[in-house]
């Protein structure tokens, strides 16, 4: 779903000379930009209702994700850090510590979002967050084969996963750190990154290697 939204947005509103389309301040606004521009034309007056519905769904999804992450952080701090330091602490005390962690983490996240947007820190964090998503996406072909297709081999899975991860690794910013800014491979991957999602490129290589190696190594 993430790939389809990004690829569809690029097809509808392509970047011109590296500049974002008019009305977009950052790539993260692509969903809002697409539905606000396309839905009224496609659905007419019903489009406004659908826009409101989708925006509510996006906000709900964001809140549920943040809620889960905050509670997970609270549990880790309370059980793995605070409880070993104070073995005799009561459940009520640990509960209040957990609540305090949630409040402090929320304030820290809000501050990072507000003040970090004015500098390079948030951009760096966001860049590596998307790189982490691209790396995680390389598990998708293997997962689909294990759950549904069951036609791959162990060697194919390992080779495909390694090839996908290596492909993602070659893209900026990681590739440029190790290969250099002027390396021909760095320049090629940088150009490709403007056209296709990094994780998608990794999956294409991943699946290709997975299928080829599995075809030659799987027992008949």
Range of the domain at 151: 121-217
Is residue 183 assigned to a domain? yes
Domain membership flag for residue 144: yes
Query: d(Cα 70, Cα 107) in Å, to the nearest integer?
Result: 11
- Asked whether the whole model's pTM tops 0.85, one would answer no
Contact between 38 and 53 (Cβ < 8 Å): no
Residue bearing the bigger pLDDT, 6 or 186 = 186
Residue 16 is classified by DSSP as B
Residues 66, 21: Cα–Cα separation, whole Å = 29
* Confidence grade of residue 171 (pLDDT, cut at 50, 70, 90): very high
Q: Tell me the pLDDT band of 65, cut-offs 50, 70 and 90.
A: confident
User: For 40-44, 125-129, 188-192, which range has the lowest pLDDT when averaged over its residues?
Assistant: 125-129
Dihedral in degrees, nearest 10, Cα atoms 80, 83, 84, 86: 150
Residues 6 or more apart whose Cβ sits within 8 Å of residue 42: none
Residue 166 lies inside a defined structural domain of this protein: yes
- Residue in this structure with the two tokens 């996240």, named with its chain if needed: 109
Residue 58 has pLDDT above 90, yes or no: no
- Structure tokens given for 157: 């899975």
What is residue 197's three-state secondary structure?
coil
The pLDDT value given to residue 12: 85
CA atoms of 201 and 177, how far apart (whole Å) = 19
Residue 71 in this model has a pLDDT that exceeds 90: yes
Give the residue from 132, 210, 113, 121 showing the smallest Cα distance to 171.
132
Residue 139: both structure tokens together? 């598990």
Q: Is 22 a domain residue?
A: no
Query: 135 and 168 in contact (C-beta within 8 Å)?
Result: yes
pLDDT at residue 117 in the model:
64
- Tracing tokens 């194919």 back to the chain, one arrives at 156
132 within a domain of the structure (yes/no): yes
- What is the pLDDT at residue 142? 93
Range of lowest pLDDT (87-96, 97-106, 122-131, 179-188): 122-131
Residue pLDDT, tens place only, 142-155: 999 999 999 999 99
Q: Cα(22)–Cα(53) distance, rounded to whole angstroms?
A: 24
What pLDDT is stored for residue 160 in this prediction?
Answer: 96
Q: Report pLDDT for 119.
A: 66
Count of domains for the chain: 1
């Amino acid at each position: 779903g993430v790939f389809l939204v990004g690829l569809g947005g690029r097809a509808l509103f392509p970047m011109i000379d590296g500049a974002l389309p008019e009305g977009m301040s950052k790539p993260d606004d692509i969903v809002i930009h697409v539905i606000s521009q396309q839905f009224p034309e496609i659905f007419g007056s019903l489009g406004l209702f659908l826009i409101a519905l989708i925006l509510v769904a996006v906000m709900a999804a964001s809140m549920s994700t943040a809620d889960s992450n905050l509670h997970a952080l609270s549990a880790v701090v309370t059980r793995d850090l605070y409880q070993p330091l104070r073995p005799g602490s009561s459940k009520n005390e640990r509960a209040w510590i957990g609540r305090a962690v949630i409040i402090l983490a929320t304030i820290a996240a809000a501050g990072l979002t507000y003040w970090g947007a004015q500098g390079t820190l948030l951009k760096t964090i966001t860049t590596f967050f998307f790189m982490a998503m691209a790396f995680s996406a390389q598990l998708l072909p293997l997962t689909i084969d294990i759950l549904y297709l069951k036609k791959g081999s162990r060697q194919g899975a390992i080779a495909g996963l390694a090839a996908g991860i290596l492909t993602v690794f070659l893209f900026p910013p990681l590739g440029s750190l190790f290969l250099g800014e002027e390396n021909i491979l760095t320049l090629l991957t940088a150009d490709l990154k403007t056209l296709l999602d990094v994780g998608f490129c990794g999956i294409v290589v991943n699946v290709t290697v997975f299928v080829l190696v599995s075809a030659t190594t799987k027992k008949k």
